[in-house]
Amino acid sequence: MITSIEILGTEELLLQRNPRAAAVHQAIVARGREAVIALNERFDDPSDDTAMERLDTELEAIVERSVSEYVRQASGLFSAEDVDLWTAKISRVPGSYVGRAAAVGVPGALLLMESVEEAESEENSTFVSLDDTLSNIAGYCQCGYATSRIVPRQLCRLCSGGVLIAWRTEEDQVIATAPKVRSELHAVFEELLDELATIHLATGDASAETPARRRAGNTGITRVNETYAEEIALLDLTRWRELSDLNQLSQITAVTAHAKHWSQWGLGSARLAMQSDPEIQARMRRIAGSRPAPKPSLFERLFSRR
């Protein structure tokens, strides 16, 4: 079966060997992303449903504008063979989101839509350091860790959120230095996100995620860590392990659900532990063709800096 990920790969390839189309693509993506980031700055209260609906409408308008501009500028730039190859593949992928890109009729449309919309979730994911986070929450911390840095038997909910984000950030930094590990883990999470989004669309019940996450850990993440064991052995995982230990004391059930497997799974465990609502919701939109209003988790709202 062909997936949307394969289409994105095909589009990247076609653009790579077509510098004129690639330049058009790049310029329109850059403008679109700028507009999305500016839009997010205007709407910064995720609890305001009316505002979130307006944000959704305006986001849609930016994507629409980017797509029409791309059609205008790039439709003559691809050879008939390239268009045929792309059409043959993209028409085999189900779903109205991909269908919308297919209807555009110009290779690169799906990548364009994705890149413009992605500016939104990336914009939401810049976190402050653990030290800053702990200082920010010191006045509300119930377990003492934020003020004393003495490790308690169990972290309070605020500290649990802080150490989880710190662990994920540390993992991202470590993985950034190992490109193969990074791209293989990326593929595992692409597949998992599809699965999680499908579960949410079908049941709307977050607890139904646990078996899917466990499977991804036991199979995909473990396989990547085993395959690249030599490369990973050269990385400094000291801080990653410290934070992994600290997260064992988390009060977030969805995090500790897999805690005893982390040492065996390895890199990727932090991302798996983190419930990233915006990512899952973006994927739900791609699969269902409609986009539920983004609802960042409590911790993401507390610790993210726009």
Place of tokens 């329109």: 28
Q: Is 67 exposed, middle or buried (0-12, 13-18, 19+ CB in 10 A)?
A: buried
Nearer to Zn ion by Cβ, of 151 and 206: the residue is 151
Q: How far is the CB of 148 from Zn ion (least distance, A)?
A: 10
CB closer to Zn ion out of 70 and 145: 145
Which among 306, 298, 273, 270 is positioned nearest to 137, based on CA atoms? 298
Residue reference for tokens 């919308």 = 100
What is the spatial distance between Cα 165 and Cα 68, in angstroms, rounded to a whole number? Answer: 38
The residues of the shown chain that bind Zn ion, judged by CB under 5 A, are 141, 143, 145-146, 156, 159
Q: Which is nearer to Zn ion, 138 or 212 (CB)?
A: 138
- Provide the minimum distance between the beta carbon of 227 and Zn ion in the complex, in angstroms, as a whole number: 38
Q: Which is nearer to Zn ion, 134 or 175 (CB)?
A: 134
Rounded to a whole number of angstroms, the minimum distance from the CB of residue 299 to Zn ion is: 13
Q: Residue count of the chain, please give it.
A: 306
* Rg for the chain, CA atoms, rounded: 21
Q: The tokens of 174 are what? A: 């470590």
How near is the Cβ of 150 to Zn ion at its closest, in Å?
11
Q: What is the DSSP string of 271-290?
A: HHHS--HHHHHHHHHHHHSS
Q: Which is nearer to Zn ion, 55 or 159 (CB)?
A: 159
Nearest approach, Cβ of residue 123 and Zn ion (Å): 28
